[in-house]
Chain A
Amino acid sequence: MKARDPSRMRDQRGMASFAVLLLAMVSVMLLSLMFYQNYAVYVTSEAFDSFRSQLVEKNGLAQIVKESVLAIHETAVTNSSNSLQTEITNRLGSMTFSSGVAVALNTPVASLPGHTFFPAGTAPVASNAACFSISPRGVGGMGNLLTSLVMLGPVADLGRLTVTFNRTVSGSAAETRTYTVNADLWSVPITNVNMVAYGLPASGQTPSAAPSLASGFFSAGVSRLVCTSNNPSNDPTAYPDLYVPNTPEQLPYQFRNVVSFSWNAYEYVWSSNYQNALLSAAGSSNTFDFSASSNPAIPGVTYSGGTLTITLASATSPTLAVVDSLGGGNVVVNGSGTSGAAFVLLLRNTAGGAGKTNVSFSGNNSRPVLLFAENCAVSFSGSPQFQGGLLIDPNCTITGTVTWFGHFSFYSLASPFPNFHLTLVDNAAVKTALAPLAPRILLVSSTAIR
């Protein structure tokens, strides 16, 4: 075998060095390639995470603005007397952001529009909302939690409130943002929902379950609202999928508008403040008091043989009140065969357990009337057809048969229906007629823009 010439191997060392150098360069490049690819994945993912974090941030701010508005103007027994700016600042202070992120409220914040309704003031004119419209402003894009309630009848647009926040991130100027929160305020008559079963006892406990109703009780097109416990052990219609036991029970935010509508508003309606305001609106000239030694002559009201008869066709006052502070009074309400201006009829019994006021409805009624019945034994005779709104308090009982066109609500965990045969019918004309007189709920939709 011929030996290899050592001088030739020496001759190849330069080439070998170059090959090693080239291999090293290729290795470095491949490692760099892998590094850059992983870095690109990391940066891309990081950017997407940041994008989604900002979505969460801005929606959190939107919720802060909404809750701040409701704290001041919600139709509820208790409201805050703070300014909107103070309410937002307080809530913002308790919000936690990612490390290095700071969000500040731009001041001054515009003041809120008024939320007035009868009898404290004149309610803003209501008209039917549209999803997509320029005038009146469409509600499309304001969220179904709002539109599901706003589209049920005439509502008043209280306008848009805009609040801005500055977002800064330490060491990253590119992450600076201005979040703009638009809060859209709507005044919604309580009578737009055909039936509200509500029940927030004074203890503040969540009602366990909805009153039971016969299958098919509601005909098509009849809206109804009830908000009860999500605990399956309280309510057989509830499922445990997302239920987290807490004391007191915490409902998901999805139910916020429903709580505004079906709990807080009715707590307010049956508070002494609102009831006294109705009494004041009627005034002494349109209030009949069973315990008074004498009463004024009120159009449409006659008293004979211990029975007060109210003829709805003849009533002229926008608010008519009957007070029965001792209990046991008898009232007959005769329906009107012809239409006429809607008005409020307050049947107020403050006697408690001393005795209910007996209220009997007879005859069909085509004149929309908004009835508040407190501690009354209500009965219907002759299966009348009646237009209006009937709100009964927790101490009322109700019997008979009626076809009711409009709104009915009751404040009890127990069903009032064992001896009450109600056929409820949606009626747009009745909703429109009652809208200027009905208590209003402030509903807010807040959306934020990055």
Chain B
Amino acid sequence: MKPVSTTRNQAGFTIPEALAYVFVFTIMMGALTALLSSLFTSQAHPQVSYNGRIYEMAPSFTNLRQAIDLHAALATAIDQADSVVILGGSRSHPSLDPTGPSSALVTSFTPTALTAMVGADGFTAFSSWDQRQLNATQFSGNLTTGQGSADFTFLTVQGLSRITSIAQQRRFTMMANGQNVVLYEITHQAVDWSSGSAVLTVNATTGTTPTYFYRFYYLANEDTWSQAPGASHYWYRSDSTWNRNQEGPAKVVFADPYIIAGDDPTAQINSVSRFIYFVSHAQ
């Protein structure tokens, strides 16, 4: 006897129909599961290319994971440093450069030591301004021009002269698909001195330098922050006679590729970066 379709009889699926549905359903579930799992490894996002590098549109979970890795390494480097040097940002000197933005080191320059500091006066490490002056010969030709307020270089130093890491932040603007976008590039180059000489640590995935990096962009109208990315220098005292060029802690804000909302009920709620440091020059 010829089977009668249960669907047509409004009584349910035939076995072939049920099998077909299960097959299609399995295919769909499998595709969605694959999509879900791939989200965390290679989240598909709009991308733009700038200076030969790929920037992914924020919010980007891939970038967030890279940022966490970078900042865990940077926070550890700061924790183990004897001093830090922060070039760029505002108020690099309270009277000689009260506004800024001051120049940072160009990203192509990767010093592993502050050569002028070998055997020098340790009190000069209380100020990035003093470090800029003392190492002027080494830095000459390697300082940025036309830098923005978000640009800075962050060196961690052991002893007086050994650079253990270099973090850089750069902010660019461009037109992409007819829209103004703001690009952020954050890199961290670790320097391994365990052998007694400086070795640049490569990225575990790419096998090249820098050690860590993340690159992303926001639409220009979304680039609003309660703590603007960049470096701000604060000063206790500037007294060259008594050798007291004493900077206080500097506030350093790295751009966040997966922003969190600010919490200010009395004003417009702007974005907050997870990656804010308030770090003393002399540790």
Q: Which A residues contact B (CB, under 8 angstroms)?
A: 10-11, 13-14, 18, 22, 25-26, 29, 32-33, 36-37, 40-41, 44-45, 47-49, 51-52, 55, 59, 131-132, 138-145, 147-149, 151-152, 197, 210, 213, 215, 217-218, 221, 223-226, 230, 235, 237-239, 241-243, 252, 254, 447
Contacts and interface: CB of A to CB of B under 8 A. Distances in A.
A29 B36 contact: yes
A144 B125 contact: yes
A285 to B, nearest CB: 42
Contact of A218 (B80, B94, B243): B243
22 contacts: A25-B28, A29-B29, A29-B32, A41-B61, A44-B64, A45-B274, A47-B68, A59-B79, A131-B162, A139-B159, A141-B80, A143-B283, A144-B126, A149-B122, A210-B242, A223-B121, A224-B243, A237-B244, A241-B236, A242-B236, A252-B248, A254-B282
A239 B13 contact: no
B242 A33 contact: no
Interface string B264-283: 00000000001000001111
B264 to A, nearest CB: 19
Interface in B173-228: none
Interface string B26-63: 00110010011001100000000000000000000100
A372 to B, nearest CB: 24
Contacts of B139: none
A411 B246 CA distance: 23
Interface string B235-247: 1111101111010
Given A52-B75, A148-B125, A148-B282, A217 B65 contact: no
A217 B241 contact: yes
A120 to B, nearest CB: 29
A139 B242 CA distance: 25
B282 A143 contact: yes
A141 B242 contact: no
Nearest to B161: A131
Contacts, number: 154
Contacts of A14: 7, 13, 17
B258 interface: yes
B2 interface: no
Contact of B94 (A221, A224, A239): A239
B274 A55 contact: no
Nearest to A232: B237
B237 A237 contact: yes
A147 B243 contact: no
A214 to B, nearest CB: 8
A25 B27 CA distance: 13
Contacts of B82: 140-144, 147
Contacts of A224: 242-243
A230 B36 contact: no
Given A131-B161, A144-B82, A252-B236, 5 more contacts: A26-B32, A33-B35, A142-B82, A144-B125, A151-B122
A239 B40 contact: no
A210 B75 contact: no
A215 B274 CA distance: 45
Among A32, A55, A149, A213: residue with most chain B CB under 10 A: A55
Given A143-B82, A210-B239, A238-B236, A148 B123 contact: yes
Nearest to A148: B122
B68 A10 contact: no
A22 B28 contact: yes
B158 interface: yes
A362 B89 CA distance: 54
Contacts of B282: 143-145, 148, 254
A226 B242 contact: yes
Contacts of B29: 25, 29
A152 B120 CA distance: 10
Contacts of B61: 37, 40-41
B21 interface: yes
Contacts of B40: 37, 40
Nearest to A195: B242
Contacts of A45: 260, 274
A25 B72 CA distance: 39
A11 B8 contact: yes
Contacts of B64: 41, 44
Given A147-B160, A237-B238, A51 B72 contact: yes
Contacts of A145: 282-283
Nearest to B91: A241
B79 A55 contact: yes
Contact of A44 (B65, B94, B244): B65
B102 to A, nearest CB: 16
Among B40, B123, B234, B283: residue with most chain A CB under 10 A: B283
A375 B173 CA distance: 69
B25 interface: yes
Given A141-B158, A148-B282, A32 B123 contact: no
Nearest to A217: B241
A239 B236 contact: yes
A22 B238 CA distance: 70
A241 B91 CA distance: 10
B248 A10 contact: no
B147 interface: no
Contacts of A142: 82
B10 interface: yes
